Amino acid sequence: MHDLMLYLLLLIGTFLIAGVVKGVTGMGLPTVAMGLLVIAMPPASAAALLVLPSLVTNVWQLLSGPSITQLMQRLWPMMLCICLGTIAGAALLVRVDPLWSGFGLGVALIVYAGYTLLAPAFSVSTFLERWLSPVIGLITGVVTGATGVFVMPAVPYLASLNMSREEFVQALGLSFTISTLALALGLFAHDAFQVSQLGTSALAIIPALIGMWAGQYIRMRISPQRFRQCFLLFLIVLGLELASRPLL
């Protein structure tokens, strides 16, 4: 009973925190949740818990934008390659020693946070987009499958495509939704996602949505830039802790 209570507290606390981050910044739910959950469980189990709360929050984000059809017409090669790379990469999340999966996740967190803190501005032309989108999608898919984190290099790439703010947020929702579905399929294909886990994953939706609502409330009352800096520094510390485990 004591262990069950601790597990529930970890689950609720993790998704509340992750939801708040997503509410304030528009992203970060799977990143934060994976980073915290793998402290107490194997990465494959943590990724399975993420499926439903990540899917619900990302579909919400996707449907809030101006045009799904136009985005799909523009980004379908990237989305297709995300699916292929994620399903293939999920084998690494399942088969690799959890310590080294955690190491990969830690490195991904550090790279993502470091990139976002430095935020070098660059722009991709329409000509290059045709060639880069599938490549970026495939790399993002493999990283997603191997670590359960959806952000690299998809987020900085989408930011370089000269979209409006609304289109960019919706494009993130599309990318994260496709990544979530592909990750669930990849975990299922490698026997790491059971139907019985859907109940626990569904429970995590509630604190995730409450956290998102709270994050949106907070966003209106504090400097998003200050919160973003604290969030990214937190990810770097968490990434260093995860990446150092196999070396200790």
DSSP string over 212-243: HHHHHHHHTTS-HHHHHHHHHHHHHHHHHHHH
Q: Per-residue pLDDT tens for 3-36?
A: 778 888 988 999 999 999 888 877 778 878 888 8
CA 105 to chain centroid: 11
Q: 10 Å Cβ neighbour count for 4? A: 8
Percent residues over pLDDT 90 in the chain: 26
Instruction: State pTM to two decimals.
Output: 0.80
Distance CA 122, CA 113 (A): 17
Domain spans, the chain = 2-247
From residue 232, give the alpha-carbon distance in Å to each of 57, 116, 217, 220, 224: 21, 8, 20, 19, 12
SS3 content of the chain, % helix, strand, coil (to 5): 80, 0, 20
- Please report which confidence band the pLDDT of residue 138 belongs to, taking 50, 70 and 90 as the band edges: very high
| Residue 82 near residue 182 (C-beta atoms within 8 A) | yes
Q: Per-residue pLDDT tens for 164-187?
A: 877 888 898 899 999 999 988 888
